[in-house]
Structure 1
């Protein structure tokens, strides 16, 4: 039997229920088709409600306690990462690649500085460097998966492939300013605006473009494993046009339970989400308060935020469709296992909470999973729990 190819597609901070086929008003025609052609696991659990531990767990197949990445800011040791699924498949003769957000090491970590994802260490890597990294033969990375208005972006000579492309080729001097600019006035929803950045310059488009290019130019005599890693719909909710206008705020879904109930929960929930961060670094402390948290929002603000969140998912969906078309055009679709899931979810206003972590709420840890490929029954469903480690 011919060994199947593998395409793992992940989003970042996408709720399990944010698909059209789940009854939400978010427009995801290509993911809906993927679900219809494959099997949907409705109880796929991530072991962490924040990015870095969740991603290290996917790669290594081990829990955060075992692989050592227990929180954001803790780097995955290279010798552990290289023993993950990419390294194992590479040794078995697969051509392995990762395109997009890795986040196995943190941008802000200054020790060790040699990691290609560190804003200091990345300056030591040539623009022509493409791996190997954490078991992947080929990588094309975003060093900074998300830009924030309160934090300057990583720019060349620091950064990796996306930063070099954006700041040296397409965006040059005005790209970041366009990203910060608004195409229409907002109503004050936190970390939410209609970005003036051209969609062709957006990170989701770049991930789609580079993935399609890799599929077109890979060695055809080798099975392959490609991890396509979109950095959205993670905040800030900065959706570009035309996707930013795709969903009307008045039409989006709202959580069934909007009232905050931290007073009914263990004391550390409120302390962690609303208390003073116990951090010595003033810059990190400011970011934790302003970038990783969100003040209470009005219903109108939550609707605007959700409309942007939906738009970012629809942009990812569009690029998933492009990747699936490329697989079909290359005659690879019927011999490729395609997996779609997310690293963790988002509260999105549920119980008056926003964004993510650190508590294990259902909205954060149940990410769902779609699997399509040889031997997988189309339209099937599975409610038994699985994990992203599987």
Structure 2
């Protein structure tokens, strides 16, 4: 039986996400990254300045956004673990679908693993994708209609038939795949010696960010032709995740010489708890191809200031290309007169260190550049030009969407952001959680990390060894002074540890192991 909605027609919901996008990498955050359309979205809506991710790598954070559950409850506690389909069937997309909404997903999903050395029958698995016909459009993970891409990051170029999903088959359908691949590999300018960084000569028309924008615009036009049902669409750009390969001319939009570098670019392990050094210097206990990928693609050194400037300039270029496509989408919402009836949300799955403390990419060190993400919301009843400093999480999106849909709340870890968006009294938040339980396959050591972030402090606890780190963000925003052992901060530490222990006791008794785990 369809779930009941409120009598008034709820707004459409358009969730737009990027991948590995720092919370400060926006023009409205004061950084020199060209994001005029996202800046406009922030002016017309409300942004959250202290939004964190429930996990700092892709699959767990995305599964939490969908299900409204923390990673150790839905089970996807690291990359390489397929989200259980029954659990996904209780997520926001499935609930809205049962209530009569048209639900769609476009772009990089990453609810299932793509690894090639352990094939599955899932559509996102490289080998499993060969079992899906060209006309397959879902359902998948609670979404009625999907148009997907495999991986979305050009470690490897788009798969050829019979493998691939909708983007890869579109990319190759004109028979120009060899030309496109050659153009992608061609470097359009210097990279300063930066690893995994180049100015791609692939024309923007064939880039996956453009494809995501194109398919979203077509979805909006289809809805305008048949608006009987409200829609809920998750639109997922795979950038600015590494490799940092913005296409021309976007790769030249930001001058490397003018790119600001992090103030603290040294690996100061003597200041940090034991797992910082261990995670960087221990050998991942992963065999075969996955071990090679983790060594060669997931362990980068900034390689000096010149290289880092070129890398950041390309990273910003990838973000600007996403912003360009967000602008195209917002323009079509206006053209079709859908803007006033659509809740638009922009966020990311997690951030990126980008040279902070001498680190690149992501891992088990929850610095703000990695943990904090942007969150901007515009729509009916949402205040314009407001900044909410309460600590919240992208975990909260599931409850937010079902709240706007008029559906009754369920027993999730997610809590609706709607009261904060509407400025209701008594809706303040005290803290948000993040967690990551990882084995030695990823970084050579097993860790059980739990974190809480308040408006002015952040604590991470490694439960196995009862060690941790505490930063007073109000006075130490660059996280230079670990106050864990500071007697003067004992009260703050105990208060935040109590917040960690207040987590609902609904973790899975037996956690699934990631593909590639030893």
The TM-score bracket by the shorter chain reads: over 0.9
Q: Secondary structure at the match of 2:344?
A: strand
Measure the CA separation in 2 of the matches of 1:283 and 1:114: 20
Asked whether the 8 Å contact 1:198–1:240 carries over to 2, the reply is yes
State the match for 1:242 in structure 2: 249
The yes-or-no answer on 1:136 pairing with 2:143 is: yes
The yes-or-no answer on 1:255 pairing with 2:262 is: yes
The yes-or-no answer on 1:155 pairing with 2:147 is: no
- Summarize the alignment of residues 57-136 of structure 1 with structure 2, pairs less than 5 Å apart: 57-108=64-115, 113-136=120-143
Asked whether the 8 Å contact 2:308–2:355 carries over to 1, the reply is yes
Task: Give the paired residue count.
Answer: 387
1:156 deviates by: 1.8
The yes-or-no answer on 1:2 pairing with 2:9 is: yes
- Summarize the alignment of residues 1-390 of structure 1 with structure 2, pairs less than 5 Å apart: 1-108=8-115, 113-148=120-155, 151=156, 153-169=158-174, 171-218=176-223, 219-279=226-286, 281-390=287-396
Asked whether the 8 Å contact 2:119–2:126 carries over to 1, the reply is no
Greater gyration radius: 2
1:168 deviates by: 2.6
Q: Secondary structure at the match of 1:217?
A: helix
Measure the CA separation in 1 of the matches of 2:14 and 2:139: 18
What's the RMSD between the two structures over aligned residues? Answer: 1.3
Measure the CA separation in 1 of the matches of 2:105 and 2:277: 37
Name structure 2 gaps, 5 residues minimum: 1-7, 397-518
Measure the CA separation in 2 of the matches of 1:93 and 1:296: 49
1:109 deviates by: 5.8
State the match for 2:484 in structure 1: none
User: What CA deviation, in whole Å up to 9, does each residue of 1:168-197 have, x standing for no partner?
Assistant: 336422222221210123321010000011
1:271 deviates by: 2.1
Residues 88 and 152 of structure 1: CA distance in aligned 2, closer, same or farther (over 3 Å): same
1:265 deviates by: 1.8
1:356 deviates by: 1.0
1:272 deviates by: 1.6
Measure the CA separation in 2 of the matches of 1:368 and 1:152: 29
1:292 deviates by: 1.1
User: What CA deviation, in whole Å up to 9, does each residue of 1:277-319 have, x standing for no partner?
Assistant: 111x221111101011102421111000000000000000000
Measure the CA separation in 1 of the matches of 2:357 and 2:329: 36
Measure the CA separation in 1 of the matches of 2:203 and 2:231: 32
Q: Secondary structure at the match of 2:323?
A: helix
Asked whether the 8 Å contact 1:257–1:351 carries over to 2, the reply is yes
Off by >3 Å, runs of 4+ in structure 1: 109-112
Measure the CA separation in 1 of the matches of 2:319 and 2:175: 23
Report the TM-score, using the length of structure 1 for normalisation.
Answer: 0.96
